[in-house]
A and B are shown apart, each in its own frame.
Chain A
Amino acid sequence: MANAPVCPISRSQPVAGQAARLLAPAVQATDLPSLITAVNQLANTVRQLIGTGIAPNNMGAATPVKQVGFVGYPEWDEEARVTDDVRVFHEDPNHQGDKSQWVDVTRIRSIRFRDRNSNDVFLWEYNRPDPGITGPGGSGGGITGGPLEEDFFQRVSDVQWGGLAVEFGFGAG
């Protein structure tokens, strides 16, 4: 056993670990194209977790395995979309609403996708309570602030720029 291999790694050194499996995070969806991208990325992630994704390079070429319940890459087609028109008012950093500044947006309330391969349905729905406001002009009073950061909106139909004026203060320097 004189020629027994010597471990080149001393105890003071960390043992090299196996490279972690890289799972691509789904992008933050902000509009329709990024929503589709996010759905596809999530599908890829699932495939990797169940072993049907792209094989690691050192494991040889992957052999596609037909598994029950999985029929390959999805191809999502938009099947239906529900929108409403909402006026969103400006909100300042102190959460004070400003009715002089607003933007009218056509907001997406839901989209239904269907995978042409598996016939699976993916339904995305706006997960906030419906404020009950429809039509440009916000007949129900409009929404203040925040929702624009989270909504999916496909079109800005009108904007009123408020907050044009400033006062330069008194006094000597």
Chain B
Amino acid sequence: MGYIITEESVDLNKAVISLWFRIPQASYDIAFGRTPDPVILPVPSPEFHGAIPIISFGPQYSVVNGPTSSSWIGVCYNNASSPVWGGGTFGLAFNLQFDTTGSRPPEYGTGVPENIMMGVTYNALTTFVFPKPIPVSADKWHHLLISWDINGMSTRPFPGTGGDYSSVIGGGSTVYVALDNKNLVGQPDPPSENIFWPCGGYFGGNGFITVSAFLVAQESIDHIPQPSFGWGGGPLPSSPFGLPTAGKINFNEAVELAEFQLFAGTSMDTADTSVRHMFITSSGKPVPPGGTGTQRLSRDPDILLHGVGNWKQGRNTGALDALQFQHFGTINKFKPEPEIGK
């Protein structure tokens, strides 16, 4: 087991994250063995069952049925037996876990913190998944560029017939995602890849709402009377922050990582080709630190993990000097070097 972790906090209400990652087939095989049975699955699912994190941050929160998941970004197995998922592959997934609770009907749990989650089998009743999973192939390098801007959101009673989610949802957070230099939300590239449904894709294509907001909105559309949902937004807790995981390290499978950059306090639209090329070259390789990303934002990343030596020592060479990582377990140099498809 190897991981790096810091207890220092960083403002993640707006963030841009660039990370190169590669997941061995052997890790997929192990994670597949932990894939929950959608029929007998306990509610909520234990963290990282069927999933492999590449980043995790923030604490877990105790709720009635057990702890919440922390925030994490990684891959999750898309259950081939599910007619909704139609998957059978590992696909991109994430969960943003807040520590504040919106006002909502009691059956959705009072005091349960809000979360924005995509691509994850949560339990048999609520499958917040991509209709078209974004496969993440094993034993190949991938580049993830994800950005968000967290804001409050609300729902309102369904106005009549013929409406959709956007007719009952107000506000919402904004999430931008690109994988391997392809934008996946908003104005996807290609357009058929717009897969963030049903929790995402509102408000110009990049609007995301929390899971409970979605459930309330869904019932409103179904003409089930519900009190309006309201949530004031963040903050998005960041501590502890770990790569590939800061918690549940018993579920930490082998992953390869390279070139991590985090810019706090800003968000960027990954639909913009020039934004993606701040981090990935046209030939599918990392843009060196100090390259176009830094120049475009006129500052260094707050967290930068670059080079084998820095990774192994957990040495952040970004702008936040005070934020350094402790390193644990086995962290070895890996080849090939990051390049899409290698």
Query: Interface on A for B, CB 8 Å cutoff?
Result: 100, 161-173
Contact = CB atoms under 8 A, between A and B. Distances in A.
A166 B329 contact: no
B334 A167 contact: yes
Given A169-B330, A170-B1, A172-B1, A164 B308 contact: yes
Contacts of B249: 172-173
B252 A168 contact: yes
A166 B337 contact: no
B108 to A, nearest CB: 34
10 shortest interchain CB distances as A-B pairs = A169-B330, A168-B2, A165-B258, A167-B334, A163-B308, A166-B311, A172-B250, A165-B334, A164-B258, A170-B254
B234 interface: no
B58 interface: no
B333 A165 contact: yes
Contacts, number: 88
A166 B288 contact: no
B331 A167 contact: yes
A166 B312 contact: yes
Main secondary structure of the interface of B (DSSP, over half): mixed
B337 A169 contact: no
Interface in B4-32: 20, 22, 26-27
Contact of A168 (B259, B330, B335): B330
Nearest to B21: A165
26 contacts: A100-B337, A163-B309, A164-B307, A165-B20, A165-B256, A165-B257, A165-B335, A165-B336, A165-B338, A167-B255, A167-B331, A167-B332, A168-B3, A168-B243, A168-B252, A168-B255, A168-B329, A168-B330, A169-B1, A169-B329, A169-B330, A169-B332, A172-B1, A172-B252, A173-B249, A173-B328
Given A164-B259, A164-B307, 16 more contacts: A100-B337, A164-B306, A165-B22, A165-B257, A165-B258, A165-B308, A165-B335, A166-B332, A166-B334, A167-B256, A167-B330, A168-B257, A169-B1, A169-B254, A169-B331, A170-B27
Contact of B337 (A164, A167, A168): A164
A28 B309 CA distance: 27
A172 B20 CA distance: 23
Interface string B214-229: 0000000000000000
B75 to A, nearest CB: 15
B56 to A, nearest CB: 12
Contacts of A171: 1, 329
A164 B312 CA distance: 11
B286 interface: yes
B205 to A, nearest CB: 33
A100 B333 CA distance: 13
Interface string B304-342: 001111011000000000000000111111111110000
Interface of B: 1-3, 20, 22, 26-27, 243-244, 249-250, 252-259, 286, 288, 306-309, 311-312, 328-338
A163 B334 CA distance: 8
A165 B243 CA distance: 13
A166 B332 CA distance: 5
A173 B3 CA distance: 11
A151 to B, nearest CB: 22
Nearest to B3: A168
A164 B258 CA distance: 6
Contacts of A168: 1-3, 243-244, 252, 254-257, 329-331
A162 B339 CA distance: 12
Contacts of B309: 163
Nearest to A100: B337
B293 to A, nearest CB: 15
A165 B255 CA distance: 10
A170 B256 CA distance: 11
Nearest to B26: A170
Contacts of B243: 168
Nearest to A92: B333
Contact of A165 (B244, B252, B253, B337): B337
Contacts of A165: 20, 22, 256-258, 308, 333-338
Contacts of B332: 166-167, 169
A97 to B, nearest CB: 14
Nearest to A160: B288
Contacts of B336: 165
Contact of A163 (B1, B22, B256, B307): B307
A145 to B, nearest CB: 15
Contacts of A170: 1, 26-27, 253-254, 330
